[in-house]
Structure 1
Amino acid sequence: MSKPHAMSPSHEVANAIWRPYCQMKTAPDPLEIVSAQDFHLQTADGRQLIDGMASWWSVCHGYAHPHVIEAVTKQLERLPHVMFGGITHEPAERLASRIVAMLPAELKHVFFADSGSVAVEAAMKMAMGYWRRRGRPERCRFLSFDNAYHGDTTGAMSLCDPERSMHASYGNAILSQIHAPLPTHPGNEETLREILDRHHHEIAGIFLEPLVQGAGGMRFHDAATVRQIRLLCDEYEVLMITDEIATGFGRTGSMFAIDTCQIVPDIICLGKALTAGTMTMAVTVATSEVFNAFWSDSADDAFMHGPTFMANPLACAAANASMDLFESEPQVQRAREMDPKLLAGLESSRQIPGVVDVRSRGAIGVVQVEALTELETLRRQFIDAGVWLRPFGDCIYVTPPLNLPDALIEQMCSAIVDVMSAREFSSPELTISG
């Protein structure tokens, strides 16, 4: 084996952090943030930016909300962390009860994870374990949809679109799953049915991002599509697993997308906004039908999974404080009311060459273009205009805090349109994005 090329000490120091979703060799220096308050990021060079991303969908109530900060501070003084194996604590018990109370009555059993990807992995493991304990171990594969994105860990990667996702280059190195077009029209529905006819005997569950496919292109579909998938899951006796890590907690204009769709999945994954963007936590919630498959006198039937930081008390305190705010403030209503405001604010970008579509759903606004070129330059232009955005693929999108004031919505949308108006988006050139 050849000896690896040695970097100079200065080069090693410069790359001490391996950064996400970028080519380290060519990426510009990252933007340094020194503080965040309410709806703004404060940069090291003294600028104040509206955060149009809510830190990847998570900061649902704005930054440094005093109620959340107070709850986490008090918990820090009492019990920052304790293992959850053989131990429990009040913040976790209370949070699990509150999550269950928010969901349809059938979803009763909360498994704590430490990230959204791990929550997806736990759901996969639950589904496979369910069928094994029902004497059907051959049901160990999953069906997911074109343009899907479910996370970056190995199992979650296999659920993402195998050709169009950022994980496509891994090809056969990851688990082999089954992929289908969303049944948004009769032709696709028939295709999905044909796939289920051939493969239902080996499918443990169908994974779906209900209403909004996020990192796969900010693509929307309607509630009828979700209901049709639920009916097909029932017909072919496969579990339905909804990934609401991004869409949960008000983002689409209802507390959960499944509320709008009026369906009950067998398993649901939640995360991101769960802790109001203060620290990492996610949950996988299952019905009693799934849970009871593991309920046994035999230790061999237990669900053998347990992240070190699952049910971290600080994260539980933050999540409980976030639940308080959802109960005391009209955050979901604000997200619902933001929908037409985002659409109105971005609508004029339709006239820009290369713009394909402008759409909104709840507190999500999207301008879709033919191609995004000079992506880093575009991001810097948005910074200069006073907003923080991370356009990717063919989308310039916003997912701001649910309670972003109207004046800031208008300012953010105007900045987007102004920056876009000076460019064209019809070049076929492709760029790496994330």
Structure 2
Amino acid sequence: MTPDELVAFDQEHLWHPYATTPSAVPPYPVVSASGVRLTLADGRELIDGMSSWWAAIHGYRHPRLDAAIHDQLGRMSHVMFGGLTHAPAVELAGLLTELTGLPKVFLCDSGSVSVEVAIKMALQYQQALGRTRRRRLLTVRGGYHGDTFGAMAVCDPVNGMHHLFAEALPRHVFASRPPAGYGAEPDPGYLAELARTVESHTDELAAIIVEPVVQGAGGMYFYSPAYLSALRELADAHGLLLIADEIATGFGRTGELFGCEHARVKPDIMCLGKAMTGGYLTMAAALCTERVAEVVSAGGGLMHGPTFMANPLAAAVSSASIRLLLERPWRREVAGIEAALRSGLAPAAELPGVADVRVLGAIGVVETQAPVDVGLAQKAAVDHGVWLRPFNRLIYTMPPFITSTDDVVRIAEAVVAAARTV
């Protein structure tokens, strides 16, 4: 097909995420990717400012990751995990337990599924302890945890993407969103309100679930680690489990290896995904403490089993990606991206349509006062040689960690140019 024919067929038959069919904004056809650059069908090269939705932290076609896939493909591409095991899964579990301090690992298909598994763990844990009324979760407004039904139920019920399904979802408990600002002093009034909310629902709560420090697709919103610490203390005081959704924040994106490390807390259950495979394949994990695993197992075992659970190809490339990350000076790389984004995005704060500019780790956000025209904003970025994917009132970037300072500067210029279209 020619590029025009490819796009025409796509528009006729393919349904893209969060979009109509055909898409209101025709997609850009990509023919290859290498390093931090995407090559379009017309020959243009774009710096990837999105890490393919925050997953490709090492960029594309990394020789170490390519080799891991090829080596494993020569052995076996997949085998069921029911009653069988294999070296890639065992090696990956060893890495994850060492990094997180959580000794039990459930490998699954995607981030949304890991949230489903975490919710099941929490509910089965309370049921096994005889606390049969504890069937709800507590979270904070503004969060996003995935697109499957259990995950949707703990996403923001008003301002999130899933309000159309509100009447079909379980009703959980939503506390107010934490005050904004990673470095802000904790608000005693908010902490008191949070405590009252937990206390008033203690008898019906199984767990608390939050995205540590950064709320991702719910608004690219940063909050103080003090509030995460407070949730840990409240969970302990009331017999609740703390679930950390680290799917977007895990593996260095915020400047710490995991978001929970900003508050020096350890959750009872942790969800991982996205960057775990370096963006090569879909895979996720739900990890938990020994105590959670013992109680759930005593109650009959965890009731979940994906067909492609612990896929050897995905497990092999995950281990390779994690080892590569740990061998790299990733903290210095992320700090360099943070510094370049702070400087490069600063001019956006002076634009009339901009409400806020914020940066944390390898995350840069320009929040606008009105919804972004995605087509216009993307064209402005593409004209600057950069790929971005704005949504709602957010023009943001999460570059691969290997992105050079010069390329981060270009990304920031593209974000500012996109913001000028609002």
TM range (shorter): over 0.9
Is 1:15 paired with 2:12? yes
**5 Å matches for 1:25-424?**
25=22, 27-104=24-101, 107-184=102-179, 185-296=187-298, 301-421=300-420, 423=421
Report the identity percentage.
Answer: 43
Secondary structure at the aligned position of 1:269 is classed as: strand
Is the 8 Å Cα contact of residues 39 and 45 (structure 2) preserved in structure 1? yes
Secondary structure at the aligned position of 2:13 is classed as: coil
Say which is worse superposed, 272-281 or 257-266, in terms of deviation. 257-266
Report the Cα distance in structure 1 between the residues aligned to 2:257 and 2:213, rounded to whole angstroms. 13
TM-score relative to the length of structure 2: 0.94
* Aligned residue type for 1:149: Y
* Aligned residue type for 1:303: L
* Aligned residue type for 1:375: V
Change (3 A) 1:345 1:124: same
* Aligned residue type for 1:33: V
Aligned-pair CA distance for 1:301: 0.8
Long gaps (5+) in structure 1 = 1-10, 426-434
Is the 8 Å Cα contact of residues 111 and 285 (structure 1) preserved in structure 2? yes
Report the Cα distance in structure 1 between the residues aligned to 2:199 and 2:414, rounded to whole angstroms. 50
Is the 8 Å Cα contact of residues 251 and 332 (structure 1) preserved in structure 2? no
Secondary structure at the aligned position of 2:419 is classed as: helix
Report the Cα distance in structure 2 between the residues aligned to 1:189 and 1:372, rounded to whole angstroms. 31
Is the 8 Å Cα contact of residues 211 and 244 (structure 2) preserved in structure 1? yes
Q: For residues 90-126 of structure 1, what are the alpha-carbon distances to aligned partners after superposition, in whole Å with 9 as ceiling and x for unaligned? A: 010011011110113xx11000010000000000000
Aligned-pair CA distance for 1:168: 1.0
Report the Cα distance in structure 1 between the residues aligned to 2:85 and 2:312, rounded to whole angstroms. 10
Is the 8 Å Cα contact of residues 58 and 402 (structure 2) preserved in structure 1? yes
Secondary structure at the aligned position of 1:301 is classed as: coil
Secondary structure at the aligned position of 1:41 is classed as: strand
Change (3 A) 1:163 1:173: same
Report the Cα distance in structure 2 between the residues aligned to 1:183 and 1:386, rounded to whole angstroms. 36
Secondary structure at the aligned position of 1:201 is classed as: helix
Is the 8 Å Cα contact of residues 371 and 394 (structure 1) preserved in structure 2? yes
Aligned-pair CA distance for 1:198: 1.7
Report the Cα distance in structure 2 between the residues aligned to 1:247 and 1:64, rounded to whole angstroms. 23
Aligned-pair CA distance for 1:202: 0.7
Structural RMSD (CA): 1.5
Q: Give the structure 2 partner of residue 428 of structure 1.
A: none
Report the Cα distance in structure 2 between the residues aligned to 1:111 and 1:14, rounded to whole angstroms. 38
Number of aligned residue pairs: give it: 408
* Aligned residue type for 1:36: A
Aligned-pair CA distance for 1:201: 0.8
Report the Cα distance in structure 2 between the residues aligned to 1:158 and 1:169, rounded to whole angstroms. 12
Is the 8 Å Cα contact of residues 12 and 22 (structure 2) preserved in structure 1? no
Q: For residues 347-380 of structure 1, what are the alpha-carbon distances to aligned partners after superposition, in whole Å with 9 as ceiling and x for unaligned? A: 0111110211111110000111101242222212
Report the Cα distance in structure 2 between the residues aligned to 1:410 and 1:82, rounded to whole angstroms. 45
Change (3 A) 1:316 1:353: same
Q: Give the structure 1 partner of residue 184 of structure 2.
A: none
Is the 8 Å Cα contact of residues 71 and 318 (structure 1) preserved in structure 2? yes
Runs of at least 4 residues off by over 4 Å = 11-14
Is the 8 Å Cα contact of residues 142 and 177 (structure 2) preserved in structure 1? no
Is the 8 Å Cα contact of residues 274 and 282 (structure 1) preserved in structure 2? yes
Aligned-pair CA distance for 1:257: 0.9
Aligned-pair CA distance for 1:26: 5.4
Is the 8 Å Cα contact of residues 182 and 188 (structure 1) preserved in structure 2? no
Say which is worse superposed, 177-186 or 382-391, in terms of deviation. 177-186
Change (3 A) 1:28 1:139: same
* Aligned residue type for 1:80: S
Aligned-pair CA distance for 1:189: 2.1
Change (3 A) 1:406 1:373: closer
Change (3 A) 1:237 1:182: farther
* Aligned residue type for 1:218: M
Is the 8 Å Cα contact of residues 381 and 417 (structure 2) preserved in structure 1? no
Aligned-pair CA distance for 1:16: 2.2
Is the 8 Å Cα contact of residues 326 and 332 (structure 1) preserved in structure 2? no
Report the Cα distance in structure 1 between the residues aligned to 2:258 and 2:94, rounded to whole angstroms. 17
Change (3 A) 1:78 1:259: same
Is the 8 Å Cα contact of residues 271 and 282 (structure 1) preserved in structure 2? yes
Is the 8 Å Cα contact of residues 372 and 394 (structure 2) preserved in structure 1? no
Report the Cα distance in structure 2 between the residues aligned to 1:215 and 1:419, rounded to whole angstroms. 19
Report the Cα distance in structure 2 between the residues aligned to 1:373 and 1:402, rounded to whole angstroms. 26
